[in-house]
Structure formats: C-alpha cells, structure tokens
Structure 1
Amino acid sequence: MKRNIYISETPMESRIAIMEDGRLVEFYIETPEDISSVGNIYYAEIENIQPGMQAAFLNLGTEQNGFLGFSEIEEIAQYHDGKWEVKPFTGAKDLKKGQRMLVQVLKDAYANKGPRLTTDIAIPGRFTVLTPFHDIIGISKKIKNPRRRTKLKEIAKAIKPEGCGIILRTVADGKTEKDIRQDIKQLLSSWEQLRNAVKNSNNQPLLVFKTEGMTSSVIRDMFTQEIESVIVDNKRKFRAIQNYVKDVDPELAQRVFFHKEGSLFGAYGITTETDKLLRRKVWLKSGGHIVIDHTEAMFVIDVNSGRYIGQKEQEKNILKVNLEAAVEIARQLRLRDISGLIVIDFIDMLIPENKKSLVRTFKEELAKDRASVSVSELSRYGLLEMTRERIRLSVMFSLSDECPMCHGYGRIPSKESMITKIDSWVRNYRQHTKERRVELNVHPMLYDFIRENKKVLRGTQFKYGIKIDLIKDDTLSVGSLRFVSKRDKQDVTHMY
C-alpha cells in the first residue's frame, strides 16, 4: 500500500491530507483560532468538586474550566515548599477547593463543555513516551515479533530514567539504543522545563507544557518507513520538517519534498475530495449511497441501495451493497473525524451468516482507525450502534459555520475555508498567466469578513504579486466565488 502525506499552509489554515493508494483516508485542518489543546499540561486549581457527578472542575487559566472525572485521577501531583509530592487518589476526600495539581488535556473543549482532563501525565517523543509518575516499561502492541520485543525491552531497562517510566512506540522498532536514548534525553529536558515552570508559577493556574502543533504531531506520529513521501507547499514548513527528520530519522529526510508549482491539493486531486466532506450523500460504486446526518446527540448514517437491488438474488445484492457501505463508512469516520455515538442503518438482511459477515468486515475496516471504537452487534432491524473516541472537533465543524438563516440546522462553508479556496485559486492563476489583476466576486457575508480582516487578502496579493479587486455580489451563494479577468472581462473561475 502506498501512503503519502500532503501538507498545505495558507494565511488562514493548515491542512494535512493522508492518502492511501491515491484515496484520501484522513484529513486534518487547523486555524490559528482553533488549535488543539490535547496533550497540553497545566498546573491547575480546583474550583468546584461535584461528588454526585464523580468529577471536579479545574481552573486552567483559560476561558473554560477543565473537567476532571474521578476515573481519570490515578494520583495527585502537587508542588509544596520546593518539593514535589505525589499521592495516590482514594476518593473525593482527597480533593479540596483551591488545591493545585498537574493535569493533562485528553479531549478538546466542545460546545459549552470544557476540555476533559487526566492526572496520568505522558510526554510523547518520536520513539518513546515518558511517564514521569509511573515507573513502568511498555512496548507498543503493534510490534508483534517476540524477538524484537525482547530486544526493545532490554534497551528500555538499560536506559529508563530512575523513578520514571517509558513506553516504546511502534517507530522504535529497529532503532538503536543510541537513537532511543537521545529521544529520552529530549523528553527529560521537556520534563525539567515543565517543573521549572511550576516553580515559577506563583501558585497561579498556568500552562506549563504546550504540545506540538498539528503538523509536528503528524510528522512525529505518522511519518514512518511506511510513508512513501511527505510533500509540503510552504518553504518554511518544508525546511522545519526536513531539519526535524534529519535529527530523529535521517533515512526519511530524502522523502520530504517541496511543491512549488500551483495548488498542492489541486495537483493531487485532494481538493475534489475535501469539497465532498460537507455533503450528506456519499455515492458507492454499486450505485447505492450512504447519507450522513448529525443531530445534537449523535451521528446517523443511512445505507441506501439506489437502483442496484433487483428481484433476482436480492439477498446477495443487499449483502454486496452493505459490505461496500461498511468499507466506505469506516473511511468516512476517519476522514470526517466523526465521533461520539453513531447509529448506522444498514439494509435489512434475512440470512444470519450475512449479518455476521457484515459486522466482521466493518470491524476489520475499523481496525485501521487510530481512534478507539466500540461496536455493537447488528440488531434485528439492521441497526448497528457504535461509539468512536472524540479527541477533537469533527472536520465538518472545522470546514463550516452554522447557517445564520436556519439557526444551526444547516451548515455553510466556513470563512476560513473560503479564504483557503481563494488562495489556492490565485496560486494556480499566477502559475498559468502573466495577468497581475483580477476581480473577485463574493457573497456579502464573505465580503464583510474580508473587509474586516484586510491582512488576509493583502497577504495573498503580496505572496503572488497580483491585485485583487473585491466585489460584493448578493446573487452568489456563501460557498461560491467568481473570478473575472480585468483584461477581457471574462469569467475565469473554472479555468484555474
């Protein structure tokens, strides 16, 4: 299987696409206002204890308090009179209002809910994870070979810092003791900086360890020997990735490439795929389709046969559509980062063995997912309930805003995603023409946003050496753009 990573940066967004054999399987997006806090470590203060909810709410020094369930408290790490004190958690009586402790973000804030926290502190590196309060040695379950597991365990025993624990990640397989030792050295340096930040916090809630950004995390966690190439369209980001890879895994440095001509996502067919992510309907090769809907409580996915099901061999044809849908649904869950409670309405089947085959296929496809999933059996009505771990917001919410006309029942493309479209189009336009001026017609809502954030369009004009005349056009939909050549007054939107 060919796996490639594509990284695109614009003034408004960073986007990362993971392709497998030319198909988009994972997509990440991050804006300056929507940076994930997962992995951040805070020296936080207890504001409120709710024994009935089996939880406490902690002041992180941010807008929203964090939620710490008692099930996520293994120990309480506090700093007193120049010394660290770590005590096991035995119940609500161990918690006091105003008490300070180290916590780490498990899940980002969502709607009016603050971030979910844990006291199980872990600092990730390229090859290892440092667990400062757990004196353990762990080996990734994905490393199956018994001989290699034994060798890695011996290395871990030889280099494990006293009083701390380490977990060897999948990418540690085949690495030398020197490589792993260097990784641990960097993690210990981060741990020391964290402790110093706590010492100097003046007992105020404080961010003491900031996780790496989205791009750095993806390169650290996913850029392995299985990846054929990493292609980047931003020179600064390209150099940063190359320098990092040369330090931690020099063999991979030659697989990092800079894309300089035209739109990166357009050149590799990624834009066509990402444009589909806001559509409810996803077509299947058989002619059937799935429909993805979101409610306040859950995601609902409906499988439809279209015109494929005939009277002859009906059960066989239904199974074929259901199996095809199972593969596509598993892909869409990863691609759209759909999480929480999910109910799937497959087409009804009569034969028990076919039902078992469907669930088995679906579980095999879900095994490719890095998020934790839990799947029920198929009900007598063809319904399958499942949950998928939520770490960050679904891509649907990153790419779109609530529709102001229907008060959130519908979605419209986000302003940030529209700015990315403009930047991508202009890049292609300047690549294929010498014209240095173009007229851009946009919906009034986008027009007002650009006028209020003038540096957005100014940055694109400066970067590509072009003058863009912005026109308000109330005949356009929110998600539409129209580019007109200033030279011959022709609509050139679909030419580039």
Structure 2
Amino acid sequence: MAKNAFLFLADAAAGLTTGDSIMVQVSKEGAGTKGPRVTTKISLPGRYLVLMPLQDHTGISRQISDAAERARLKEIAEDIRPRNMGVIVRTVAEGCTKEELGQDLEELLRDWARVKRKYKGRSGSPLLYQDHDLVHRILRDLYAAGETTVVVDCPELKKRIIQELKDLAPGTPPQVELYVGKVDLFTHFGLKKQLERAGNNRIWLDCGGYLVFNQTEALLSVDVNTGKYVGSKNLQDTVVKTNLQAASEIPYQLRLRNTGGIVVIDFIDMTDPNDRSAVLEELASALSADKTRTNLLGFTRLGLVELTRKKTERLLSSVLEVDCPHCKGMGRVLSDETVAFKIALEVNSLALENVEVISVHCHPAVAGFVIGAGGSNLRALEKHTGTTVKVRGDESFVRQYYEVKSVAFD
C-alpha cells in the first residue's frame, strides 16, 4: 500500500516551492502507520567511499582514529572527488591506496550517471536506484580482506561470493569456506540461539540477573534486575556486578535487534559515584564497537541512563514477528472471568429480544466461569433473563473469542 513520505525541512534543498519536482532518497523506512522519511541529500554507498553528488563535502569515518591516516585519506579524497561533489571515506578504506579509492569512486560516478539519465527521462515517480542485494551489501560493508572468513552452506553461493570478493578486494585471496556439518549453519555458530534471545523481552545475564526490554513507538526502555544473583559479599557488590554485566550486554542487544532512536536504561540504584562512573565507562566501551552512530548522554537526575542510536533499517522484531492477532500487539488478553462477564452481558442484551433459547459457544475455561460452581452462575443467568442458555465449550476457540446467538426453532 502506497504511503506518503516525510521530507523534513533540514533534509530538503533550499528554495523549494509548491509543485516542484524533486529527486529524493529514502533515508528511513516507514514503520506502522508512518510513511518513510526521505531526503534530497542523495548518497550512494560503495566499498571504500560514499558518494554525495549534490553536496560539497569531505568526511572521514570516525572509526579511523589514527590522525596521520585520517589526514592521508582526506588528502586523497579531496584530490579525487569531482568539484561540487562530496565523499565520505568509510572505515574499510583504512590503508587503501589512491588507486583503490579512485576505482571505487569511478563506479559510484557511473551509478550516479545512470540515476540522472533515469530521472531526466522519467514518467511519474519511478524508482531511480536501488542498493544491491543482501549478499553484496554484507560483503561490501563488513568484509575485511585478510581478517574476515565467510562461511556458507551453499556451493553456488560460495562461487558467487568468491567472484564478488575478487572485485571488491582485488589482490587478496578470498577467504570463503563451505560448511558441511550434521547440524544447520545457524545452529553450529550459535546464531539460532541468539535470534531466539533477540525475540525475548527478558534476557538473562551470566551472573543470574536479567534485563527487560520494552519497545514503544517513542523509545526503548531497558530495566536491569538482580534476579537470582545474590552475590558473595553484600548487596552493593551484587548491584555493581549486575550493572556491569548489563552495561556490556545492552549494546550487543541493541545491535542484534537493530534498535534505533532513544534508549533509556534503568540500572539498579548505586550509591557510590565511583560505581556509577565504572558502569558508564563499561557501557561506553561496549558502545564503541558499534559501527552505527551512538551518543551516550549519561545519568539523568532520576538516575536513568540515556543514549541515542542512529536509526538505520527496520527493527529485527518487525522482520521476524507480527503483532499477535489475539492481543493486537498489546501483549495482554482479557482474563477468562472477564470474558465470561462479557458473555453474560450479551446474553442479557439478546434476551431483551424475547428469545427463548440462547446458545453460547466459547473456550472450555471460559465456559467454566459462565456455568459456575455446580451450575450456579448459569442458573442465575437463566433466572434473570427468563431464557434457556445452552453453553458449549470448544478447545478450538481462542479464550477471548466467543459466540452468543439465539436458537431458532422450526
């Protein structure tokens, strides 16, 4: 279903007026009832560079920390980028030659030329450019020549990856292995278990404490609890150890779940400022491994820790899960007793139509409340309505669903 996109003022080109035709790029996918966010600041990602054809700017990845290397790469980027166009040097470009960066830029410029041709000859609002498929993006964005080994369980995919790596990282033998084992690839490497954990709101820590994740439309809250862990010395030792493990695990879970936006963490209260500092340092250290931009804001006056993580693609939960059709995503359903009360109300309403027999069809557990101990509830209902009520339990009914109708006689 088509949705309207949102173009924020900060993402729009200057001088726009009503009725203008503009080229935009989706910067954030839509979620729920919200449409996608778009921008006029076009960017095309390559292996070593990101081309920004409509901006005059040179940037270097923050993950490259060596000052001399940053200066070298910036000098190369300034030299090779076309006038009035911008580039961002990616982390994987560290140590690359001017020739390697230049070849990557040439390919991106060809992509941009194709986009412009399609835009010039467009009819309506066509798709001008789409990034490569998942396999190519993973290799382009994550593969580090000489450091990364790719493991697959499909011979055809292995051949394809070897060829793509020869193009992406020429001069370095591709490190690709074909897995043949008694269990599936995800189980062998523990990924299946991690995916299952990512689908849980409660994550247990090695120390016996646990985290509770609560994702809302506005933010993600994480609650830290001691759980089964009681420590070996005193309560404060238990609190600090649990908080330190939580500070290490939470950034990993943010990456795994692809969480973006505002994150609020409720660590267990600590009285010693040194303990609070140690937990913040552990959290900052764990966040530093994240390639997605994060901003740790520290403790608030209420003792909560705030941080932000740039929104990229969809949440893992939105890819793997759908809202429960019974609770509509609320995570809670009516109790059996409440459903039985609703049934009684409907029986009362239907009895006002002067029917003689009413049929109730529901889950057996709910039927038990409708009937009551020894049939007491059912007798009272029949007496009050002046009708005969026939109750039938059916295991195929979900507990909060039921059917109340009059019985017609020929």
What TM-score do you get using the length of structure 1 for normalisation?
A: 0.63
Q: Deviations over 1:290-325 (max 9, x none)?
A: 111223433221111123235943222211110111
Q: How do 1:151-300 residues align onto structure 2 when only pairs under 5 Å count?
A: 151-202=72-123, 204-225=124-145, 227-261=147-181, 262-300=183-221
Measure how far apart 1:274 and its partner are: 1.5
**Residue 64 of structure 2 is aligned with which of 137, 143, 151?**
143
The 1:230/1:337 distance shift into structure 2, 3 A limit, reads: same
Question: Which of these two proteins has the greater Rg computed from alpha carbons?
Answer: 2
**Residue 6 of structure 2 is aligned with which of 52, 57, 67?**
67
- In 2, Cα distance between equivalents of 1:232 and 1:176: 30
- In 2, Cα distance between equivalents of 1:297 and 1:166: 33
Equivalent position SS for 1:308: coil
Equivalent position SS for 2:104: helix
For the 8 Å contact 1:128–1:167, the answer to whether it is kept is yes
Q: Which runs of 4+ in 1 moved over 6 A?
A: none
Equivalent position SS for 2:92: helix
- In 2, Cα distance between equivalents of 1:395 and 1:323: 25
Partner of 1:107: 28
- In 2, Cα distance between equivalents of 1:371 and 1:144: 16
Equivalent position SS for 1:65: coil
- In 2, Cα distance between equivalents of 1:231 and 1:322: 35
Partner of 2:321: 400
Equivalent position SS for 2:150: strand
Q: How do 1:322-471 residues align onto structure 2 when only pairs under 5 Å count?
A: 322-379=243-300, 381-410=302-331
Which ranges of structure 2 fall in alignment gaps of 5 or more residues? Answer: 333-394, 399-410
Number of aligned positions between the proteins: 334
Measure how far apart 1:280 and its partner are: 1.8
- In 1, Cα distance between equivalents of 2:65 and 2:216: 40
**Residue 226 of structure 2 is aligned with which of 305, 321, 327?**
305
For the 8 Å contact 1:336–1:396, the answer to whether it is kept is yes
For the 8 Å contact 1:64–1:114, the answer to whether it is kept is yes
Equivalent position SS for 1:130: strand
The 1:98/1:154 distance shift into structure 2, 3 A limit, reads: same
Q: Deviations over 1:130-164 (max 9, x none)?
A: 22122333333333334333433343344322442
Measure how far apart 1:332 and its partner are: 0.8
For the 8 Å contact 2:61–2:90, the answer to whether it is kept is yes
For the 8 Å contact 1:179–1:248, the answer to whether it is kept is no
Seq. identity, %: 34
Measure how far apart 1:121 and its partner are: 1.3
Q: Deviations over 1:102-123 (max 9, x none)?
A: 1111111111111111111111
The 1:323/1:189 distance shift into structure 2, 3 A limit, reads: same
What TM-score do you get using the length of structure 2 for normalisation?
A: 0.75
Equivalent position SS for 1:96: coil
Measure how far apart 1:380 and its partner are: 5.1
Q: Which moved more, 1:265-274 or 1:130-139?
A: 130-139
Measure how far apart 1:243 and its partner are: 1.3
Equivalent position SS for 1:141: coil
Equivalent position SS for 1:190: helix
Measure how far apart 1:179 and its partner are: 1.7
Q: Deviations over 1:63-92 (max 9, x none)?
A: 11211100112x3xxxxxxxxxxxxx1xxx
- In 2, Cα distance between equivalents of 1:409 and 1:324: 30
The 1:191/1:320 distance shift into structure 2, 3 A limit, reads: same
For the 8 Å contact 2:145–2:169, the answer to whether it is kept is no
Equivalent position SS for 1:377: strand
For the 8 Å contact 2:47–2:140, the answer to whether it is kept is yes
- In 2, Cα distance between equivalents of 1:238 and 1:294: 37
Q: What one-letter code is carried by the residue in structure 1 that aligns with 2:129?
A: F
Q: What one-letter code is carried by the residue in structure 2 that aligns with 1:119?
A: T
For the 8 Å contact 1:347–1:382, the answer to whether it is kept is no
For the 8 Å contact 2:210–2:225, the answer to whether it is kept is yes
Q: Deviations over 1:390-424 (max 9, x none)?
A: 2222112211111111121239xxxxxxxxxxxxx
Superposition RMSD on alpha carbons, in Å? 2.5
Which ranges of structure 1 fall in alignment gaps of 5 or more residues? Answer: 1-61, 76-88, 412-473, 478-496
Q: What one-letter code is carried by the residue in structure 2 that aligns with 1:95?
A: L
For the 8 Å contact 1:348–1:381, the answer to whether it is kept is no
- In 1, Cα distance between equivalents of 2:31 and 2:295: 21
For the 8 Å contact 1:127–1:183, the answer to whether it is kept is yes
Q: What one-letter code is carried by the residue in structure 1 that aligns with 2:10?
A: S
Measure how far apart 1:260 and its partner are: 4.4
Measure how far apart 1:251 and its partner are: 4.8
Measure how far apart 1:198 and its partner are: 0.8
- In 1, Cα distance between equivalents of 2:295 and 2:74: 30
Partner of 1:95: 16
